[in-house]
Amino acid sequence: MRGMQSTDHAQHFQPANQKNELTTRRKGKLAIAFIPSIQAWLNSQSFMKLIEVITDEKNLQPVTSIAEQHDSEVNWVGSSDMQNRQLIRILVSDENRQSVLDALQGLLAESSKILVLPLEAVLPRKEPKPSDQEAKETVTTTREELYNSIVKNAHLDSTYLLLVFLSTVVVAIGLLEDNVAVVIGAMVIAPLLGPNMALALGAALGDMTLMWKATKTTIAGVALALSLSIILGLIYPLNLASHELIARTDVGLDSVVLALASGAAAVVSLTTGLASVLVGVMVAVALLPPTATLGLMIGAGQPKLAVGAALLLAVNIVSVNLAAKIVFWIRGVKPRSWLEKQKANQSMVIYMVIWAITLGILLVVIFIRKGFLKVL
């Protein structure tokens, strides 16, 4: 991907002179200038970020044109460095940020850098207009920001495995002691949201590498949680009077609805830039307790109860991923180029069909177990 990297290159650039500058400080060949007309425009905006472009001097005019075409304005232009590169800073509203990034990536070469920086505050502050409030409600995170945010939480490393280990121990104790507060506490530290969202995002973007990475991370986490729970089931006496434990051996339509809602809410939270901590807890509730319950039942020699927990775990995994993929598709998360979009659409359709068929099979099994259907 071209561009979105943290870098210190910006310190090598200084803003150049402008005709309507407020202040100018000269030192050697470098000059710093501020464009006052941008200040007025900035004050009228409520939701925006700063895009910095480090590119060859010849790209200055095309980059400026892209900004103007998308109702954005160039705030600073840095003077050329020793390599004839320039720093260009563009203030972009959230609703135009994705289109600006796509246009810049289509224009610039690999040697260029595109940085997206948060804008904490603008002074003097101006009250937002009603149209600004409406824009805020429809703001979405860009594809690149979404990718970076999700991928960094899908790594299979020692930290991920340690958090799975600790959360499994905590949730197992909560289940055995019938303590709902402890069970919820375990969900706070469970790192299961990242790999599941990465799997769905990989399907939306047609990124097989990301899908495989997320699959490995998910399998590793579930395998660790299951193995540890089996050991705990062998060591600790099983408390069949625990409501929290027995509840995870019974699966119904409400379990499917809960998992679907969890997956959908997670994607909505991520794509709108809202805090995903509580949604992550909701996803973890759908995945970790059934896994721990399955392990405890296997370790304690309770095959019938273990089957119920396994069915609940399967239903939750399928439902969370299916809902996440549907919401990614609805919100228009897709690759930039036409060819990549075609590949992504194919993988997305195949993936959704597989998950939907799997969920249908699991629903039939649930209906049979509940006595709604009779096996001929």
Reported as a pLDDT band with limits 50, 70 and 90, residue 70 is confident
Side-chain half-sphere exposure of 95, counting CA atoms within 13 A: 11
Residue 317 in any domain: the answer is yes
Q: What is the pLDDT of residue 274?
A: 64
Q: CB atoms < 10 A from the CB of 6, how many?
A: 6
* CATH code for the domain in which residue 111 is found: 3.30.70.240
Same domain? 296 vs 150: yes
Helices then strands (H, E): number in the chain? 14, 6
How far is the C-alpha of 115 from the C-alpha of 87, rounded, in Å?
11
Judged by average pLDDT, the poorest of 48-57, 254-263, 286-295 is 48-57
* CB burial string 80-108: b at 16+ within 10 A, e below: ebeeebbbbbbbbbbbbbbbbbbbbbebb
Q: Does the model's pTM come out above 0.75?
A: no
C-alpha angle 331-336-342 in degrees, rounded to nearest 5: 85
| CA 40 – CA 62 distance, rounded (Å) | 24
Using only C-alpha atoms, the chain has a radius of gyration, in whole angstroms, of 26
Residue 116 pairs in a beta bridge with: 51
Report which of residues 302 and 20 the model is more confident about.
302
Residue 227 lies in a domain: yes
Cα separation of 204 and 332, whole Å? 9
Highest mean pLDDT among 26-40, 224-238, 319-333: 224-238
Average pLDDT over every residue of 44-72? 74
**Shared-domain flag, residues 249 and 322:** yes
- At 241 the three-state DSSP class reads coil
Q: How far apart are CA 208 and CA 42, in angstroms?
A: 40
> What is the reported pLDDT for 124?
53
pLDDT at 340: 65
Whether 297 and 152 map to the same domain: the answer is yes
CA distance 267 to 273: 10
* Tens digit of each residue's pLDDT (9 = 90 or more) over 134-157: 444 444 677 777 888 788 888 899
Do residue 288 and residue 232 come from a single domain? yes
Q: Tell whether 153 and 106 lie within a shared domain.
A: no
Residue finishing a domain among 119, 153, 187: 119
Rounded Cα distance between 202 and 197, Å, is 8
Above 80 in pLDDT, residue 335?
no
Q: Within this chain, do residues 334 and 234 fall inside the same structural domain, yes or no?
A: yes
Residue 139 domain-assigned (yes or no): no
Question: pLDDT tens digits for 107-134?
Answer: 776 778 888 877 776 565 545 555 544 4
Do residues 47 and 122 make contact, with C-beta atoms less than 8 angstroms apart? Answer: no
Same domain for 271 and 186: yes
Domain span at 318: 145-370
Residue 17 predicted with pLDDT over 60: no
Residues 62, 173 within the same domain = no
Report whether pLDDT(6) > 90. no
**Of 264, 236, 233, which is closest to residue 326 (Cα–Cα)?**
264
33 vs 239, higher pLDDT: 239
Query: How many structural domains compose the chain?
Result: 2
By C-alpha distance, which of 300, 164, 207 is closest to 245? Answer: 300
Single-letter amino acid code for the residue at 334: K
pLDDT of residue 332: 79
Residues 222 and 103 in one domain: no
Please list, in sequence order, all residues whose beta carbon lies within 8 angstroms of the beta carbon of residue 169, skipping any fewer than 6 positions away.
Answer: 228, 232
Cα(304)–Cα(302) distance, rounded to whole angstroms? 6
Q: Are 306 and 312 in contact (CB under 8 A)?
A: no
